[in-house]
Amino acid sequence: MTSRLLDAQELVKSFGGLTAVANVSVHFDRNELVGLIGPNGAGKTTLFNLLTGETPLTSGSISLYTDQGVQTLNGKKPAQIAQAGISRTFQNIRLFKDLSVLDNVKIAMTNHYQEGFLTSVFRLPKFYQTEAAMAQAAHELLKIFDLTAVADQPARNLPYGTQRRLEIVRALATKPSLLFLDEPAAGMNPEETADLTQLIRQIQRDFHITVVLIEHDMSLVMNVVERLYVLEHGGLLASGTPDEIQRDPAVIKAYLGGA
Ligand SMILES: Nc1ncnc2c1ncn2[C@@H]1O[C@H](COP(=O)(O)OP(=O)(O)OP(=O)(O)O)[C@@H](O)[C@H]1O
């Protein structure tokens, strides 16, 4: 039985005269891996920005189903949405480049809970009861992502693909229930992309979380996700399983070039 995690109804985002997201409804269930695809400028990143509070909605509603009941995310700030268990990565890498790989992860574990507070008090989130527990969790995450050997290196020394992996570790460090990955494999070669995509699938299963993935390599995303949403010109063109999407005449016409 599936259990609903997030419901977004009739989301609209207008930038002046341009409607970047036009009446899009999507939902995500617990423990699923979902792909979000569509041509450049289709509105994928804007949709992520709406769901994570980076960009305010023009209209629509977003509901998160938690153990405490249904919570509306409308009007919430990114830090509040992060606290509710939603995490993300960005298309442009946002690391603390001069800090070590390990410190980047530790900061993600704590920072996130302090945003908006003018405090220098080092507050650990509930799930990391001690500094030692936090350090251990950080090391475990680095190991999963094959980053142990570079734990003490400044982030800026890492190759681009490795920096992207570190970004995912940072997003996971907050123990999210829902993780949005915006083109995590951008700039990687096909082999690295395939490896990362398999890793994302493994993480989604092992951590029992929901992952939503924007990925340009259509054949790759088709192989790993359970469901897909296809955006075009800000609107929802199609949704369904990879099989359904591949057979959908509207998708074939608009996105697969009529093949
Ligand atoms: N802050 C903004 N102000 C004005 N227009 C914007 C803004 N953000 C996005 N847009 C426009 O909204 C549309 C959708 O952009 P978006 O980045 O969401 O698309 P995308 O599907 O993520 O594209 P890509 O695959 O190229 O990243 C584009 O026409 C873009 O120029």
**Whether complex ipTM tops 0.90:** yes
Ligand 1 centroid–CA 43 distance in Å is: 6
pLDDT of the residue at 120: 38
Strand order in the sheet with 33-37: 86-88, 178-182, 210-214, 33-37, 227-232, 235-240
Q: Is 237 close to ligand 1, i.e. is its CB under 6 Å away?
A: no
Nearest CA to ligand 1 atom 11: 20
pLDDT of the residue at 128: 66
Q: Is 227 close to ligand 1, i.e. is its CB under 6 Å away?
A: no
Ligand 1 centroid–CA 248 distance in Å is: 25
pLDDT of the residue at 110: 77
Q: Is 18 close to ligand 1, i.e. is its CB under 6 Å away?
A: yes
Q: Is 17 close to ligand 1, i.e. is its CB under 6 Å away?
A: no
Split the chain (259 residues) into runs of 10 and give each run's mean pLDDT.
Answer: 90 96 98 94 96 97 94 93 92 89 89 46 63 86 94 95 92 93 89 88 93 86 92 95 93 68
Residue 256 CB contacts under 8 Å (≥ 6 apart), including other chains: 218, 246
User: Residue 227 half-sphere exposure, CB side, CA atoms within 13 Å?
Assistant: 15
Nearest CA to ligand 1 atom 3: 15
Structure tokens at 202: 């493994």
